[in-house]
Amino acid sequence: MKIPAYFCAAYRGPAGDDATEQRIEANVMRALGVASAIKTCFPSIELFVPHINQELLHRCWLKKYVRSPQIIEVCCEMAAEKRLILVLEPISAGMKEEIEYACCYPPKDVVYFDEWNIAAEDAIAQAIAKCKEY
């Protein structure tokens, strides 16, 4: 059975709702690239990546069908359902809220990293091994 994991990475970032289209696009591309590497490296996890739905969410946001608080609320609920939280830093206000909410529903292992490298890969491998012990 695959370990359910949530990928937490900036969408708008520190600018929040004032983020430019270019900043959002750069954040999404970074997140999708790292998430792809994680999925390739760790087939034993079922990684949920909110950024995959970014075009739909962004269009809904532009039309004011949903706002950031509603999106973050749903992301919080989805993160809480996962066993493993993978956090690509830097952490935005929305990400902080997701992590804090998810950690109220143990057991949770949270791995923080700021780039995809050997150290991040090792930290995730250790967290996966710990998850398998439960």
- Taking 90 as the threshold, does the pLDDT of residue 127 lie above it? yes
Task: Yes or no: say if 68 and 16 are a contact pair by the CB < 8 Å rule.
Answer: yes
* Furthest-apart CA atoms within the chain: distance in Å: 46
Q: Where are the alpha helices (DSSP H) in the chain?
A: 21-41, 54-62, 68-80, 93-102, 118-133
Indicate which CATH number applies to the domain containing 26.
Answer: 3.40.50.10400
Structural domains in the chain (count): 1
Supply the pTM of this predicted model: 0.93
- Residue 73 belongs to domain spanning: 3-133
Task: Yes or no: say if 128 and 43 are a contact pair by the CB < 8 Å rule.
Answer: no
Task: Yes or no: say if 36 and 28 are a contact pair by the CB < 8 Å rule.
Answer: no
Helix (H, G, I), strand (E, B) or coil at 12: coil
Quick: pLDDT tens for 28-83: 999 999 999 999 999 999 999 999 888 888 888 889 898 888 989 999 999 999 99
* 3-state SS string for 79-107: HHCCCEEEEECCCCHHHHHHHHHHCCCCC
Would you state the pLDDT for residue 45? Answer: 96
Would you state the pLDDT for residue 1? Answer: 87
What distance lies between CA 5 and its chain's CA centroid? 9
Structure tokens at 31: 């997140």
